[in-house]
């Protein structure tokens, strides 16, 4: 009744934001609000605090690990393929709202900070392995809601073109270009369970057994 009367609705992940539709006050990334609300209900990105280790120290840390993970994931979901758009996105009202209460007031992370998170923090210690475990936990939470009794695993590879001297980039005769040749695993709903980046010149089934075993377990 309140939503109908006041023409806006409130969200569970924050009490500082009201959502309404008005043509003169828009953001092209407004769909992130719904994604953040789903994230909150399922408890997904908050698991970063349990699975990932942050070795940063000092009083100058402004962006917590969970906030950095959200900016990395949400910006991809909004269609921004890399961190180059972080400088613009850090001030986008929708992105700021979904990251954290701190970001809502002061802004998201800069390009350098997000890049450091993806290339340094996520590769520290066993964080990459823990990321796999965390993704499995995400899918488990969703599958509990779906009440599924059977899981179908679909393994496939694809090409990721490279344009330069990137380590591991190689010519692939099947795709006819210089690329990486990543390996993927999806379930029957199209959820990505695991990804492995491989050199461009390996066979499609290269390393499939080692790749599949933890998923099956």
Q: What is the pLDDT of residue 26?
A: 60
User: Would you say 194 and 135 are in contact if contact means Cβ atoms under 8 Å apart?
Assistant: yes
Q: pLDDT by residue (tens digit) across 11-30?
A: 888 877 777 766 545 677 88
Angle (CA) 158 69 183, round 5°: 15
Q: What is the pLDDT of residue 187?
A: 94
Partnered with residue 171 across adjacent β-strands are 178
Q: pLDDT by residue (tens digit) across 142-195?
A: 999 999 889 999 999 999 999 988 999 999 999 999 999 999 999 999 999 999
- Whole-prediction pTM: 0.77
Round to whole Å and give the CA distance between 213 and 209: 6
Residue 130, class by beta-carbon neighbours within 10 Å (0-12 exposed, 13-18 middle, 19+ buried)? middle
Residues making up the chain, counted from first to last:
217
Other residues' Cβ atoms within 10 Å of the Cβ of residue 142: 16
């Amino acid at each position: 009744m309140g939503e109908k009367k006041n023409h806006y609705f409130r969200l569970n992940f924050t009490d500082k934001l009201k959502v309404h539709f008005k043509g003169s006050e828009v953001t092209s990334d407004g769909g992130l609000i719904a994604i953040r609300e789903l994230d909150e209900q399922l408890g997904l990105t908050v698991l970063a605090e349990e699975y990932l280790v942050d070795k940063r120290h000092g009083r100058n840390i402004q962006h917590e690990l969970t906030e950095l993970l959200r900016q990395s994931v949400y910006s991809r979901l909004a269609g921004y393929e890399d961190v180059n758009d972080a400088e613009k996105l850090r001030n986008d009202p929708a992105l700021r709202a979904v990251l954290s209460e701190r970001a809502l007031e002061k802004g998201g992370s800069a390009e350098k900070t997000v890049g450091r998170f993806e290339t340094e923090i996520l590769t520290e210690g066993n964080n990459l392995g823990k990321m796999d475990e965390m993704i499995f936990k995400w899918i488990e939470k969703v599958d509990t809601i779906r009440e599924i009794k059977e899981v179908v695993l679909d393994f496939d590879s694809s090409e990721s073109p490279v344009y330069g001297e990137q380590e591991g980039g190689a010519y692939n005769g099947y795709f006819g270009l210089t690329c990486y040749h990543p390996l993927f695993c999806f379930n029957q709903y199209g959820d990505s369970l695991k990804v492995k980046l491989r050199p461009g010149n390996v066979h499609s089934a290269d390393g499939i057994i080692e790749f599949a075993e933890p998923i099956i377990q």
